[in-house]
Copies of this chain bind each other. A is one copy, B any other.
């Protein structure tokens, strides 16, 4: 009985990853600092580095389409500044 419950609770959870990046033409001062620091550490061959954000989101939902819609809402409401950032949602496993 307990095993069945565990199976169910596992089935109800869907995992998504969200990658948020600055749009191409937006300056990335944080990335620039990292780039300069790496150059000072002697890492040549580094052409450019840009920093973004990463989220791993567990949604309690069986239907993948609905779950993805939820994650999309979260991005638009809070996680992403749509004026300067792009985002990409992926299903994890």
By a beta-carbon cutoff of 8 Å, the part of chain A in contact with chain B is 13, 17, 19-21, 31, 34, 37-38, 41, 43, 45-61, 67, 70, 73-74, 77-79
Number of copies of this chain that the complex holds: 2
Q: Do B57 and A54 touch (CB < 8 A)?
A: no
> SS class of chain A's interface: helix, strand, loop or mixed?
strand
Q: Do B49 and A58 touch (CB < 8 A)?
A: yes
CB distance from A32 to the nearest CB of B (A): 13
Which residue of B has the minimal Cβ distance to A67? B45
Q: Do A77 and B21 touch (CB < 8 A)?
A: no
CB distance from A46 to the nearest CB of B (A): 6
Q: Do B59 and A46 touch (CB < 8 A)?
A: yes
Q: Do A78 and B46 touch (CB < 8 A)?
A: no
| Cβ-defined partner of A51 (8 Å) among B34, B55, B61 | B55
